Amino acid sequence: MGNTISYQETPIELKLGDRGTIRGLQFDDKSRRFTGVPYALPPTGEYRWRKPRPLPTSYSYTDDNGGAYDATKFKSICPQKAFHVVKPDGGGNTYGEDCLFVNIWTPVPKEGEENKRWPVQLWIHGGWFQMGDPSQEPGMDATELITTGGLNAIVVAIGYRLNVFGFLAGNNLLQESNGEAGGNFGLWDQRVAAEWVRDNIAHFGGDPENVTLAGRSAGAYSAEAQMLYDFRKTGSDSSLYHRIFMDSNAIPAQPKSLADVQGQFDELCDYFKIDAAVSGAEKLSILRGKSVEELLAAIPQLKNHTFRPVTDDVFIHSGMIEYLQGKDFADEFKRRGYKLLIGEVRNEETLYSSYNAPTEPTLEALRLQVSNYYAPDVTNRAIQQYQLPESDKLQDWQTTFGSIVSDGQVRAPSRALAKALVDNGVDIRDVWRYQIAYRLSFIDEKVAPASFGVAHAMDRPIWNVEEMKVLTPEATIEVRPDGRWSELVKLGNIFAGNALRLTDMGSDPIAYFNFNPTPPKGQFTPVMLHSLRWSAWGPEYWALVGGIISFTAMVVLLARFDGKPIFTWNGVTLNAVVSILSVTMKAAVAFVLSECLAQWKWILFTREDRPLMDFDRIDAATRGPLGSLRIIFRTQGAYAVQLGAILTLLAVALDPLAQQVIQVREGVVYTRSTQTDKGPLALNSGTQTYSMGTAQVTESSRQNSTTKEYWVSTDTPLSMQGAILNGLSKSRWEVEQEALIQCPTSNCTWDQFKSLGICHKCNDLTSELTQVGGFGQAIIALANTTLAGYKVPGTAFVLPNGHFIANIDGCPPYNGRYAECENEQPLGVYSDDKYTTTSFGTGIPSKTNSMKDVDTLLWSMSIIHPDMEALNKSSGFTPGKSDRGSTAGLKLWPDIPMQATECALYYCVKRINSAVEGNQIQENVTEALDSRRDPDSWKRSSEYEDGQPENVISKEANGTLEFDKYWSAVYNTDLRLEFSHISNEGYYRISQDSVKSMGAHMQELFRTNLSGTLDQREEIEKILGSDAVGFNGASFGPFEAEKWSMKAVPPALDGLWTWTRLNITSTFYTLATSMTNEMRRNYAPGQSLKSGQDTDRFQDGSLSYYGKVGKSTVLYHIEWPWIALHGVMLISAIAFLFTTLGNSNSRDNVPLWKSSSLAAIRHGRDVGGVLSRTTTMGEMEDTARKVRVNLRGEESEETKSCIDRTTGSIPSEP
């Protein structure tokens, strides 16, 4: 649409104070237009995705030659995809990032009114925040509104950044701007434009104290956001505007957070193939380097293709919806003297159904498009409120989408906003709502299909008077509040995240925006109020209340005793109580059904002529099941009555079904053990301290010396030594069952508790293995020999810390039959044991490969070993089974696939969920990751002044738990673990003796000197450097079909890896579990026992935590499906009552007589003549089948019966 009337255009210049002069156009002598007036500096280059920069005070409106600024032509619109606007002259508007302009339409001051100040409308265009135009939006140009329509006001339209340019958001942007803006750049543009209008509109004749902020669709959303920003801005008392006009949109829910839209930011970066590893600043730099066209082309390719306002806690704050619904918002609204005009058109959903709608008939496609509008939790809540299509017809899913978004964006939030203001004290005269339900005749099929109805934005010509047809009589528009007010206010709360109980509005704060200001007469006549009278239906209401109470009590009672032991109280059983409640509910339902059936006599006979026999049948149905059967099979055209009869029959089944609800089963009942209980109790083991083991310092004076020798000897308890060996030899299940637990029955449970323990972690380091050649001399040195003049080819596999395994090239990594080397030289080194595995163990984190961050490290081991899975898949690996020679089928070094694993044991706090089920221990033990080593624990005392150099701890070992015979002689404080965030949680302590003795024992088990002689270190360091750790454990072994054993140095390594025991991680799990069990069991010398501990069975170890003892007993088991009929009957009775109420209205003059015998007698005189000649029941029934009767009255006459005595045309009924 464009302007439809021609005007004489003349240039007009206007001076803007000391900021220059602009040239616009004057149309006749009625209006002026100034277009493309900058209000901020261009947001281009490095200023893309930054807050707008207001014009500096030095800015002047001039052209390139120093003349007046040309404001006669529209400037570029903000970049947008697939949107083209035709100018009145046939040209097209171009887009560009330099788009922060306002367009201004003003009246022409009349003679003598040059100083008059006109009201100002500040207009924000719509377009889903993705597109739109302040220049020539259809229906927007205000020229005719002023020139022909006679509007004495100024209209200012704002251009603001859209889509990815205006609403890209994320934490990277917030950080870059030092917290000034994480998105919402389009909203910031609007804000700066409003401030420009405040400061400059007086030059155009506008009154800056009389501004209305207005917008349609996304513009209405923006208007509300601007109002909220003003209200919540610290120290703000804005005078930018005092009235708000919101057309077809509002804020329905808290916008997405920066975290919610980070995925959209990342998706955009992925589209441009920006490395995810680069910094946020670098990502933004790359994106700013992309052209406008490249960014526009990216938008439709994104799954998250819609860019919208976000909750950044700068412009839009968290808790916005709660603020909107609260009293503080309403109070601020009143304090500022605001007025609100808000509304919509009748068929908002039709346009939404066709824009960005689902492209597939699936729930996933629907959720994707809804999620472009709302945060994930809001999306889920919204979809759950709607009946989803059961078909695979795409249009049905698009229609559902249109309903969700139109309710969510328009109907629900506008009602919720109006309700919140009025409920919190805003004068209803200051909150105006409207609905436009008229479609102008010129909006024909070429513009929009008739099925669109009055669609979103079809009201633009009405508001802007662009088409002169608006001024014709056809513009008498029916505009009324719709019947979904309460429903949509509730839905608004659902979008907002609340489910509040809504009270009656009293009066709907809706204005009738109509050229005929009076609403249609009688429109709100309450047609059901007559039938809802308490005096008529009070007993039925009370009966339903009693039925609901009985049903609720029955459900609560059953739920309370479901799974509980059988009880009796003074001889009264649960079955008896439930039967009483069921009978009470049945009586209430039966009474309501009976009265409603009776009322249907009067409803049916008031509406139409019916056989008199129907009156008798319905009356019989009110008295029981037999009469109901007659209704079902013999009454025609009375579906509601037949439904009531079916419900009456179903009510008979309530009592027997109630007996089926309560069943019994064998179950376990748990009783909590306490210290005062007698007999064996449920007890579990755990500890907060560990002080087992000793570390004895020995002091010895040196002859003829002033120094002394200090060393420490340790002793680890046999029970802990056994636990470690158990961990090396037993399975996971066996070790888990060894936790010290006392359960006097076969079932016990404990609340979660925490205990000191040993944790483990393992990492696969295979990818870090590197192959290093030229290792022959090092291999000779490792054999503790020298071979002058000989060179042996050797290769090593090396980890980053210098742990390695090396063998002679061409030899298999094992000994025994069929283990000969290729190209073997006559040297003794060829007959030495070949390394199958090597290990390096330490308690110093810095010497490990992947455990450097473990500050409570007890022991870490890296193990390099053959990859048996790869070897077993190799057809050439069959030693011991070859018939083709001693070397056939062998894998030779270094063509052996190798693996590396590093595992660690460390002190930790564990959370334990423990139970005994069927005499089997079931424990879920996890590390308490929120615990940490107390920085003030494990402090080392001063070094001995008269000690030896070896008594001084090395730099790399300082602060670690590594044991050394000499430096560990110095005293350390206890090791403590803590929960720093829990103030009342005590320390978990391991004594220094325990730490030292445990570390010494691990060294004795898993470490020996295999690569530490001077010759060996010299050769190793030549190749791997001085920091290489070498190895301190190794295993050698024949690999033969009949002999799988290994020789390990030290021997305990045989428990970690052999040819048939490959899972190192599992072994460290059993080690940690077994050691934890022992720490829980025996944590201190002379530890006390809990009361109730069975000392005959558990004499070694202490039980610390009481639990619950489970005993088998007979329990109630509630079969809930059997109670379904009770609920269905109650709901059906309520529905049947309200159906009856709805049909017993005063409009049809239906009397509220129900089962009254007096009412039947009252009409007896009217029909008595019909039956006067009958003497038997059969004769009366036969006559009643042939006679049709009604109870319709005429005009204001008293209701009476009218009898059709023409029986010949009525077929005889059975």
- Which residue among 58, 135, 177, 217 is the active-site one? 217
pTM of the model: 0.48
Residue type, 543: A
**pLDDT for 516:** 27
Judged by DSSP in three states, 122 sits in strand
Q: How many Cβ atoms sit within 10 Å of the Cβ of residue 358?
A: 20
Torsion of CA 1196, 1197, 1200, 1206, to 10 degrees: -100
Length of the chain: 1214
Q: What's the CA gap between 289 and 786, in Å, rounded?
A: 66
For residue 226, give every residue at least 6 positions away whose Cβ sits within 8 Å of its Cβ, in sequence order, or none.
Answer: 187, 190, 191, 194, 213, 240
670: closest CA among 1114, 1108, 1106, 1117?
1108
**pLDDT for 767:** 96
For residue 578, give every residue at least 6 positions away whose Cβ sits within 8 Å of its Cβ, in sequence order, or none.
Answer: 554, 557, 558, 658, 661, 662
**pLDDT for 136:** 57
Q: Where are the beta strands (DSSP E) in 790-878?
A: 794-798, 804-808, 837-842, 857-866
Structure tokens at 477: 């528009």
**Segments in 201-319 forming alpha helices (H):** 218-232, 258-271, 280-288, 292-298
Q: What's the CA gap between 773 and 839, in Å, rounded?
A: 20
Q: How many Cβ atoms sit within 10 Å of the Cβ of residue 326?
A: 13
> Can 691 be counted among the known catalytic residues?
no
The CATH code of domain 9-318 reads 3.40.50.1820
Q: Where are the beta strands (DSSP E) in 44-93?
A: 69-70
**pLDDT for 50:** 97
For residue 769, give every residue at least 6 positions away whose Cβ sits within 8 Å of its Cβ, in sequence order, or none.
Answer: 797, 798, 799, 864, 898, 899, 900
Residue type, 1032: N
Residue type, 108: V
Judged by DSSP in three states, 1045 sits in coil
Structure tokens at 982: 């829990």
CA 802 to chain centroid, in Å, comes to: 47
Q: What's the CA gap between 939 and 974, in Å, rounded?
A: 8
Report yes or no: 601 and 627 within 8 Å, Cβ to Cβ. Answer: no
Q: What's the CA gap between 239 and 235, in Å, rounded?
A: 13
- Mean pLDDT, the chain cut into blocks of 10 residues (1214 residues total): 66 94 94 96 97 96 93 93 49 80 94 84 94 70 80 93 97 94 97 96 94 95 95 71 93 95 96 94 96 94 95 95 93 92 91 89 94 92 90 93 93 92 91 84 82 86 50 32 41 43 30 28 34 68 91 92 82 88 90 87 80 83 82 81 87 85 86 76 92 94 84 94 94 92 92 96 96 92 78 94 94 76 81 89 97 96 91 58 46 90 98 94 94 95 89 93 95 95 90 96 95 90 94 82 71 89 93 95 76 58 85 88 89 89 70 77 64 77 77 44 40 37
Q: How many Cβ atoms sit within 10 Å of the Cβ of residue 131?
A: 20
Report yes or no: 160 and 189 within 8 Å, Cβ to Cβ. Answer: yes
Maximum Cα–Cα distance for the chain, whole Å? 149
352: closest CA among 414, 400, 304?
400
**pLDDT for 1192:** 59
Report DSSP letters for 358-377, one per residue: -SSSSHHHHHHHHHTTS-HH
**pLDDT for 912:** 96
Q: How many Cβ atoms sit within 10 Å of the Cβ of residue 792?
A: 18
First to last CA, the chain: 71
Cis amide leading into 894 (omega within 30) = yes
190: closest CA among 156, 164, 159?
159
Judged by DSSP in three states, 11 sits in strand
**pLDDT for 916:** 95
Beta bridge pairs of residue 698: 711
Give, as one character, the DSSP assignment of residue 455. B
Beta bridge pairs of residue 24: 12
Element of type H or E holding 325? helix 320-325
Report DSSP letters for 1103-1171, one per residue: --EE-EEEEEEEEEEE-GGGGHHHHHHHHHHHHHHHHHHHHS-GGGT----TT-HHHHHHTHHHHHHHH
Structure tokens at 166: 């205006």
CA 344 to chain centroid, in Å, comes to: 31
Q: What's the CA gap between 996 and 230, in Å, rounded?
A: 66
**pLDDT for 601:** 82
Give, as one character, the DSSP assignment of residue 528. T
Judged by DSSP in three states, 536 sits in helix
Beta bridge pairs of residue 665: 1115
Residue matched to tokens 């990815």: 164
**pLDDT for 215:** 94
